[in-house]
Structure 1
Amino acid sequence: MLSICLQRTRFSAAMTKPGPSGAPSLVLPELGTFTDEAQRASALAELVQRNKLAKYSCIAMLPANSYQLVQVDLGELPVDERREAARWQIRERLDYPPEEAVIDLFEVAPFGGEKRPLTYVVSASSNYLREQVQALSKTGLTLAAIDIPEFALRNICDLFTEDERGLALLWLEEHSGLLVVVRDGSLYLSRSFNSGMADLVPYADGAYESLTEQLDSIVLEIQRSFDFCESTFQLPMVSRLLIAQTGQEISAIYGYLNEYLTTKVEPLSFSGVLTTPEGFSQVELNGALPVIGGALRREQN
């Protein structure tokens, strides 16, 4: 499966195939930049031609700022009325006319107990999605699905089958972060962070006391997320929290989070769960994490 994420001035791509031992192999991690639509088309065409990808099935991975993910209460509405009801509930959160919203829904069922599942709506502008589809179709790729980073990170967590109690994964981009909590293939929680590596990198020279304010905020949000999973879904504490840093790795982060969180904190490592090409560090691969997760997608609808 091939996964591509198109952003305003850059793209990322990844492809996986079954490995000889049963574990998947990553065969195409790639990052590219462009300045205009013509350069983007040329870069994508070159990617497809160089790797002989024409007519491959492709996942379009949406960038984090291109869609809305909102919890909604649809009660006991019939299935055929739920999408329109969700559109009406989120209309004031959209920066485009609600009638132009493409709507999809998913539910998160409690791990235990008798509580009703929570319903979430994913919404994106039809004009934006149309532009994404057209850009990919011009390369000869066959679009299989449009996906979001939350489920891509879920797919990454599914690689770690030895963690029977599930995993949490925190992906730290330059200016933002995304936390997911996953167990038995189910995405129980996703939480966005307004801070990222840019807030931490200036203090990577050893002045660890300067990290306190930023890391205290991250600790608080993570603990709130774990508490929410326990109270809402009756989900026991996950086995580990994996941290995926991008740009560079700041080792002080792991020690700080381990000191203040009740679950074990470790850096994300693909060693033993995903075969990766030579010449790529884990930090470099972390920069393409959503498309790597998209390329691990198993569902086709």
Structure 2
Amino acid sequence: MLQSNWLRMPSWRALGRGRRTHQQVGLYRAASELVAARLRLEGGSWMVEQLETADCTTQRDEQAMAQILRTGIARQAPVISILAAEQYNTYPLPAPPVPKAELREALRWKLREVLPYAPEDAAVDFVSLARAAEPNTAESLFAVAALRRNVAQAIAPLLAAGVDVQAVDIPEMAQRNLLNALPGSEAGRALLGLEDSSALLTVVHEGALCFARRIPLAQLARTEEEDPEHVAARVATQVQRSLEVVERQTGLPAIRTVWVGPHAYCALIARCVAEQTGLDCPQLDIQAELQFSTPLPPMTPERAAGALIAIGAARRSEYPQASASPTAQSGVFGWPSWLKAA
């Protein structure tokens, strides 16, 4: 019989509350490499103290994982593993009218018509989306579903190596975590993360997630030889339409800033988004905007894009006071207890 509550959060004592320092590791499988970031929380601020990458084009993922772990980056630190885009599905929807304790199971069956697999095979979780307070309006949720088998396979090498897997999360929440570390208005801002095949737009309001959308870049480039300016303009159009949806559906103040993540055409895309939306669109240089314990050599845009997600994952918060504060949203999946019991 399947456990209905297969995800649980670890004890806050295990996370070092009350200590002066605490370390966490974010792990992300980007398009061509595995990226791991180890962060240290000290004096209320996160600092990147180690960043490791392993090529996945010349070796199997298991070998890349072993290479990463040999660096000692996960030693005596919990790991947050981020699922790749193809490993999960997201569904923004109103909360079912059931007690909070029953929401996960209610969502599982509410999603049965759209899930690409049987609902009983799905790991389901959710976060609440920020919305303007309106009477008699259902809470808005951002539901996440992943095939249990895929989640198990994603973290199996870590478990086999004795790594403390604290949580399984998604890029949307990693970007949300990183966005909250960047300068700018707390009222509303966005981050457009860019990779080879897709862009991920994440919008937060006062620290809480209120919108996320993945934009497939391949569909916007009609031919391989197409002028990058045309593709960037189409990306900007998708961003503009998404922000209009956010303003219309949430009732929250308009977004003022859209950070544009590392990419070979970051400057071009930032310019097109700024022209299309009229918003401030700074280019995100993680080495300039985040704290590193030691300077790193310049990173390629591809490596910086993967590091962005890994660093955001490592900033995940689990402290119990988070439940009362939207700015401390932890993320999606916690420790998969059914795996631990297996």
Q: TM-score normalised by the shorter chain: which range applies?
A: 0.7 to 0.9
In 2, the alpha carbon distance for the partners of 1:71 and 1:162 equals 26
In 2, the alpha carbon distance for the partners of 1:123 and 1:259 equals 36
Cα RMSD of the aligned pairs, angstroms, is 3.0
**By how many angstroms is 1:251 displaced?**
2.7
> Could you say which residue in structure 2 is the equivalent of 1:241?
258
> Could you say which residue in structure 2 is the equivalent of 1:60?
81
> Could you say which residue in structure 1 is the equivalent of 2:104?
83
Q: In structure 2, do the counterparts of structure 1 residues 216 and 27 end up closer, same or farther at CA, with 3 Å as the change threshold?
A: same
In 2, the alpha carbon distance for the partners of 1:8 and 1:223 equals 26
Alpha-carbon contact 2:126-2:142 (below 8 Å) kept: yes
1:130-181 alpha-carbon deviations (Å, 9 max, x no partner): 1123211112210101100000000110112442333211111101111011
In 1, the alpha carbon distance for the partners of 2:57 and 2:162 equals 20
Q: Where in structure 1 are there 5+ consecutive unaligned residues? A: none
Secondary structure at 2:244 match in 1:
helix
Alpha-carbon contact 2:37-2:48 (below 8 Å) kept: no
> Could you say which residue in structure 1 is the equivalent of 2:12?
none
Secondary structure at 1:70 match in 2:
strand
Q: In structure 2, do the counterparts of structure 1 residues 253 and 129 end up closer, same or farther at CA, with 3 Å as the change threshold?
A: closer
In 2, the alpha carbon distance for the partners of 1:23 and 1:48 equals 22
Alpha-carbon contact 1:112-1:233 (below 8 Å) kept: no
Alpha-carbon contact 1:6-1:63 (below 8 Å) kept: yes
Match status 1:292 vs 2:311: yes
> Could you say which residue in structure 2 is the equivalent of 1:214?
231
> Could you say which residue in structure 2 is the equivalent of 1:3?
26
Q: In structure 2, do the counterparts of structure 1 residues 33 and 89 end up closer, same or farther at CA, with 3 Å as the change threshold?
A: same
In 1, the alpha carbon distance for the partners of 2:45 and 2:108 equals 42
Q: 1:255 aligns with which of 238, 247, 271?
A: 271
**By how many angstroms is 1:199 displaced?**
4.2
Secondary structure at 1:163 match in 2:
coil
Identity rate, percent? 25
Alpha-carbon contact 1:237-1:263 (below 8 Å) kept: no
Counterpart amino acid of residue 182 in structure 1: V
Q: 1:50 aligns with which of 51, 54, 71?
A: 71
Alpha-carbon contact 2:198-2:215 (below 8 Å) kept: yes
Q: 2:131 aligns with which of 110, 125, 132?
A: 110
Which has the higher mean CA deviation after the structures are superposed, 278-287 or 122-131?
278-287
> Could you say which residue in structure 1 is the equivalent of 2:298?
280
In 2, the alpha carbon distance for the partners of 1:244 and 1:9 equals 17
Q: Where in structure 2 are there 5+ consecutive unaligned residues? A: 1-23, 320-333, 335-342
Counterpart amino acid of residue 138 in structure 1: A
How many residue pairs align between the two structures? 293
